[in-house]
Structure 1
Amino acid sequence: MAQPFATRWTREGSEAIVAIAGDVDLGTAPQVRESVKDARDSTAPVPLTSLIIDLSDVEHLDSVGLAVLVEAAAECHSADQSLALVCPTPVVARPLEMTGLDRILNVTTSLDEAREVTR
């Protein structure tokens, strides 16, 4: 049974985490984009320095979803913020590998590893 699509974000200090579940495709990409924007625009006592996108519960990632991740990376780069993706399953890791994005983006297998590379 397919998991329903959902996004949520949290902010702890200078780090924001966007967690996504379900399919990331043409139909859900706008919601992913909005969640990333909300997390990056959130106000806190300290400026945002790192963004982690947790794709652990993503069941499908298509080219539109990949484009959203590339956009997020470009926005973070422009703002001098680090970005890491949590991709513990082949469902998400495979499209990143096939497109070569795994060599450009910080792709990790756990939240702890993502936190380490964004420090």
Structure 2
Amino acid sequence: NMRKSRFFQKDTYIAVDFLQKEVEVVRIQEIHAKKSPHAVFTVDMGANKGSKQILFNKPEVKPLNAIKAEMESFHSAIINNAVPPVTINDGYSALEVAYQIIGKINQTAANL
């Protein structure tokens, strides 16, 4: 049973394994004054572009019951008459982004 998501950015690759509760981050970056302690190796980019370093990081994932934490946060906001960490505006913004993504997917699929 595989529950993974992969995220690609310009200079970064992030793999999240939800089943094993692990995250791996691989980045490529310029070599500055000294090599990073997370650098696995360096790569010559060729054509007088210099070298870059490949960094690997496996951040700690703390155990958390996300649904329980969300409910506790919601309860606390009600009891203390406080603004929750994720507001209704945040939720609305997330939905707007989701609908934009769905629109782009549908537009691309229609052009195939």
TM-score of the superposed pair, with normalisation by structure 2: 0.28
Larger radius of gyration: 2
Query: Larger RCO: Structure 1 or Structure 2 (Cα < 8 Å, ≥ 6 residues apart)?
Result: 1
When you count helix as a share of all residues, which structure comes out higher?
Answer: 1
